[in-house]
Amino acid sequence: MSWDIFCELYQVGARYRNAHIGKCDKLPEHLIDEGIEWCKKPKSLLIHGSSGRGKTYLTYCLLREAMRLYGLHQIRWVKSKALDDQILQAFSQYGTTTDTIRKFSEINLLFIDDFGVDRGSERTERDYYELIDNRWEHMKPTVITTNLTPEHIEKTYGSRIFSRLKDFKWISFEGLPDLRGENQCR
Ligand SMILES: Nc1ncnc2c1ncn2[C@@H]1O[C@H](COP(=O)(O)OP(=O)(O)OP(=O)(O)O)[C@@H](O)[C@H]1O
Ligand SMILES: [Mg+2]
């Protein structure tokens, strides 16, 4: 499937449609290199940092390249909130979240954007634990972006999730400029 068709089908926002790891000049070189390395062998990443630094944009660059190299089969990109909504809906409809969590556990390469927006209830902690534990156990690459600091992740989701996230490669976007508002007339 071409990138353009993918964008139409999955309603990728206009702000991310130009995402391409080969034309990513607003990203520092060491992060582009990380991205290029990742494409050769996708692994679990935790991309963290403040708003507007380009975390989501990078995930689309990675997804686009992964799709080109490995096909779309078994790749999913989902916002954390939408994932949580699906889990909640399954619970209200069927009284169980098992099938939904299994579905997301089995995807070969999963991107979860904005981890931590649905923070901190016992239920989210339990559901995310199950999902992350399943994926961790079967060594399925998961790419997570979040605004939370490492300390907040541990506080919000508990030590069992945090412990598994320690096996992810952590990439910090702290210290980079906020890319939003760059072209605004002041
Ligand atoms: N490498 C890049 N080249 C060109 N534009 C970029 C790049 N990275 C990000 N942008 C643009 O900068 C803006 C902010 O990027 P993005 O949405 O990825 O930030 P974010 O770190 O995910 O922020 P948040 O934490 O608020 O979700 C977007 O409009 C995006 O299109
Ligand atoms: Mg984002």
Spacing, Cα 53 to ligand 2 middle (Å): 8
Mean pLDDT within 40-45 = 96
Sign of the Cα pseudo-torsion (52, 54, 56, 57, in order): positive
User: Mean pLDDT across the chain, nearest whole number?
Assistant: 93
Q: CB of 172 within 8 A of CB of 30?
A: no
Dump pLDDT digits (tens) for 85-128.
999 999 899 999 999 999 999 999 999 999 988 766 788 888 99
Which DSSP symbol is given to 147?
A: S
76 pLDDT higher than 80: yes
Question: What pLDDT score does 107 carry?
Answer: 97
- The CA distances from residue 72 to 11, 15, 108, 148, 182, in Å, are 15, 21, 10, 29, 33
C-alpha 161/C-alpha 102 separation (Å) is 17
CATH 3.40.228.10 assigned to domain 3-11+28-172? The reply is no
Spacing, Cα 113 to ligand 2 middle (Å): 6
Tell me phi and psi for residue 154, to 5 degrees.
Answer: -65, -45
C-alpha 9/C-alpha 104 separation (Å) is 19
Q: CB of 26 within 8 A of CB of 54?
A: yes
166 pLDDT higher than 80: yes
> Where do the domains of the chain lie?
3-11+28-172
Instruction: Work out the pLDDT band at 184, boundaries 50, 70, 90.
Output: low
| Ligand sitting nearest the alpha carbon of 14 | 1
Question: What pLDDT score does 119 carry?
Answer: 63
55 pLDDT higher than 80: yes
Across 13-27, 120-134, 167-181, least confident range: 120-134
Spacing, Cα 1 to ligand 2 middle (Å): 24
Cβ–ligand 1 contact at 28 (below 6 Å): no
Spacing, Cα 86 to ligand 1 middle (Å): 26
Question: What pLDDT score does 122 carry?
Answer: 80
Cβ–ligand 1 contact at 51 (below 6 Å): yes
Whose Cα sits closest to atom 8 in ligand 1? Answer: 54
Top pLDDT among 131 and 72 is at: 131
| Ligand sitting nearest the alpha carbon of 58 | 1
